[in-house]
Structure 1
Amino acid sequence: MTDISLSIAGRAPARRARLFPAALGLAVLALGLSFTFAVGVGAVPVGARTVWGVIANQLMPGLVEVTWPAGHEAIVWDLRMPRAILAGLVGAGLALVGAVLQAVTRNALADPHLLGISSGGAFGAITALLHTGMILGLATVPIFAFAGALGAMALVLGVARLADAASAERLVLAGVAVSFIVMAGANAMIFLGDPRASHTALFWMLGGLGLAQWSHLIFPALALALCGPWLWLRAQDLDAMTIGDETAATLGIPVSRFRLEVFIAGALLTGVMVAFSGVIGFVGLMIPHVARMVVGGSQARVLPLSALLGAVFLIWCDLFARTVMAPQDIPIGVVTGLVGGLFFVWLLARR
């Protein structure tokens, strides 16, 4: 009986590896369908043919015959498409960060929020919005958010070193402590800022995609295009880190430097995403678990699937947030927290 059980357990990883192409294809299909549905649904319904007709007409004018009202084109291209694209970019970025942080810390609860990166990004964004103004133009908020995220990550590393908590597991505890400290600082910045602008700061604290614009999308897209492939190319190193620092070191991986590089990439991704979405929890924590349940623990499979699933998940959360109480938006952080909490209750019930 034991031999049979071991044989079945040995076949499980191979079976999940074979599922990867199908899972990836289904995730890409789900992303396309989710995007089409999200752009078409709202106070003014727009059919899928019109959605893609507007996209084709904007990208290649004259390619298709314009049979829809001008108002529909404005709704699709100027309002809903930037928001849906931003939701996909933010969801993909946060899910990627969660997956790599869980690998390098060997802690299933690690995510940008728990390690203080999201809090640091929000602190930087609030500082720019309420105190310094747009001193660097359109790039001010992303730069300040990245600086805040990087500063929070540096604080985590400093606290861990001060407390002699160099182990990956205890880094999460240091991250939780720093997250509370940084959020206290962010609240103080809101209190000391202009009361008339406090609603702007509230956006960063609760999360939302209602301010999405085409001119903003270049920043999260560029951050994802730079960090995503680099993290995927280091998938084997991330796999080694999940086994342990000693094993990774014997394989020639400079453990401390590599972990620092991953933290910096995570801070860049999180900081830029937070700059345009506010603090959104549970995406980086939950989505990598779903990906591993489907395709196993190999980071080469987990990272691309996490990015796709994160994009799909946040697109649907944003769709729910803007339609359930239309015309008023529910903060998207409320939706992700509710879904994420129920998901982990379900996981606990399954033991």
Structure 2
Amino acid sequence: MTTPSIAPVRGRGRLERRTWIICVALVMSNCALIVVSGAVGSVAVNPTEAAQIVTGHLIPGMPWMSDGSLTPLQDQAVWQFRMPRTLLAALAGAGLALAGALMQVTVRNPLAEPYILGVSSGASVGAVLVIVFGSAVVGGLSLNAAAFAGALATCVTVAMLARKNGTLSPTRMILAGVALGTLLSAVTSYLTISTDAQNVVGVLFFLLGSVSAATMTSLIGPTVALVASCIVAALLARSLNALMTGDESAVSLGVNASRLRGLLLVIASLLTGTVVSVAGGIGFVGLVIPHIARILVGADHRRMLPVTVLSGSLFLVAADLLARTVAAPTEIPLGILTAFVGAPFFLWLMRRGGADRAGLGR
């Protein structure tokens, strides 16, 4: 008589252990890939030396930092140039993946991602305005601040257009986001073709995504946004599960569906705007990674969100490593590489048996 009640508990226990194993493996893979990324470049540095340089900067007094075994050029190449871009790629991948997962809950659509609501397009308009006309046109805001302001303005506009009878309608959000994103993309395209030739390359490189200009200072904004969003998302994990079952079920469980959607929209916009402001437009991360996480550990957000964040980080660090090595010395914009990798992989997922568990086969 007790077997039916014990079996689900044992099943959940196995899934919890599997989630922990996957998370530990992802953390170790991220650390290893970050070290490898720090070792790859025109200045010869092996992974062991790269690990020593990173450790030496994090823990003062390491003997190898002063015994002459590492040259100043190696130290500069790893710590000042390669580490900032690698860490920014990790933060951007984690942020976009989390934003995608939250957007899919917000609109209850497995094909949703931050870009579907036009948030990325709004951030791009703000940044391109600064590149083309200077900061004076946006009240003296920096490029990063203008991109974030554009994302926030788009978020507010979509929320206003999506309200129906005092609540946020998922269908209206998608329609409003697609229409507004298309309009903002047209504005960006017009600004690009009407600007001086010397600005076009900078605009296009920004729109296609890149972390090549990263500095340690540029990591502060994405780090704060990601940590705050992860904390809020973890606290809301049970409510996210309820929202995915439908508004009526969520309300019966004590969840204010409309208010929760508004909060999720703000969090996703914060993450997307912050990432776009420092790394430009990078697609497919927020679309593909959450589905991979669901296939690995199921749809429960208490398990899925940590795997999503860690997988997104690993994916974009790997993409950045490929972007600067595949066609060296030319660097491929990240947005192009993620599209080449993400689109076929997404189509492959749809053909797999696990696609139903990810919500793609419905």
Q: Which residue is equivalent to 2:360?
A: none
| SS of equivalent to 2:104 | helix
Within 1, Cα distance between the matches of 2:171 and 2:134?
A: 37
Q: Which residue is equivalent to 2:92?
A: 90
Within 2, Cα distance between the matches of 1:250 and 1:275?
A: 39
Within 1, Cα distance between the matches of 2:86 and 2:133?
A: 30
Residue pairs, 1:36-185, within 5 angstroms: 36-66=35-65, 67-133=69-135, 140-161=142-163, 166-185=168-187
**Are the structure 2 counterparts of residues 225 and 68 from structure 1 closer, same or farther at C-alpha, using a change threshold of 3 Å?**
same
Structure 2 segments unaligned to the other structure (5+ residues): 1-5, 354-362
Q: What is the one-letter code of the residue matched to 1:255?
A: A
Within 1, Cα distance between the matches of 2:288 and 2:24?
A: 21
Q: Which residue is equivalent to 1:3?
A: none
**Are the structure 2 counterparts of residues 342 and 8 from structure 1 closer, same or farther at C-alpha, using a change threshold of 3 Å?**
farther
How many pairs are equivalent? 345
Q: Which residue is equivalent to 1:234?
A: 236
Residue among 303, 306, 320 paired with 1:304: 306
Within 1, Cα distance between the matches of 2:76 and 2:265?
A: 40
- The Cα shift of 1:214 comes to 1.4
- The Cα shift of 1:196 comes to 2.1
Alpha-carbon contact 1:106-1:169 (below 8 Å) kept: no
- The Cα shift of 1:305 comes to 1.1
Q: Which residue is equivalent to 2:276?
A: 274
Q: What is the one-letter code of the residue matched to 1:95?
A: A
Alpha-carbon contact 1:123-1:145 (below 8 Å) kept: yes
Within 1, Cα distance between the matches of 2:77 and 2:48?
A: 15
- The Cα shift of 1:281 comes to 0.4
**Are the structure 2 counterparts of residues 235 and 275 from structure 1 closer, same or farther at C-alpha, using a change threshold of 3 Å?**
same
**Are the structure 2 counterparts of residues 220 and 44 from structure 1 closer, same or farther at C-alpha, using a change threshold of 3 Å?**
same
Within 2, Cα distance between the matches of 1:340 and 1:254?
A: 34
Q: What is the one-letter code of the residue matched to 1:58?
A: H
- The Cα shift of 1:166 comes to 5.0
Within 2, Cα distance between the matches of 1:350 and 1:8?
A: 27
Q: Please give the TM-score of this superposition, normalised by the length of structure 2.
A: 0.88
Within 2, Cα distance between the matches of 1:185 and 1:333?
A: 20
Residue pairs, 1:267-346, within 5 angstroms: 267-346=269-348
Alpha-carbon contact 1:124-1:141 (below 8 Å) kept: yes
Within 1, Cα distance between the matches of 2:77 and 2:138?
A: 30
- Report percent identity of matched pairs: 37
- Of residues 264-273 and 39-48 in structure 1, the stretch that sits farther from structure 2 once superposed is 39-48
**Are the structure 2 counterparts of residues 301 and 61 from structure 1 closer, same or farther at C-alpha, using a change threshold of 3 Å?**
same
| SS of equivalent to 2:63 | coil
Structure 1, residues 95-125: CA drift from partner, whole Å, max 9, x if none? 0000111112110011011221111111111
Q: What is the one-letter code of the residue matched to 2:160?
A: G
- The Cα shift of 1:9 comes to 9.7
Q: Which residue is equivalent to 2:26?
A: 27
Structure 1, residues 10-48: CA drift from partner, whole Å, max 9, x if none? 986664333111111111111111111111122334222
Q: Please give the TM-score of this superposition, normalised by the length of structure 1.
A: 0.91
Alpha-carbon contact 1:240-1:248 (below 8 Å) kept: yes
Within 2, Cα distance between the matches of 1:159 and 1:301?
A: 33
Structure 1 segments unaligned to the other structure (5+ residues): 1-6
Structure 1, residues 291-326: CA drift from partner, whole Å, max 9, x if none? 111111111111111111100000000000100111
Q: Which residue is equivalent to 2:209?
A: 207
Residue among 178, 184, 189 paired with 1:187: 189
Structure 1, residues 130-171: CA drift from partner, whole Å, max 9, x if none? 223279999722221121112222332333348999532453
2:250 counterpart of 1:248: yes
Q: What is the one-letter code of the residue matched to 1:321?
A: A
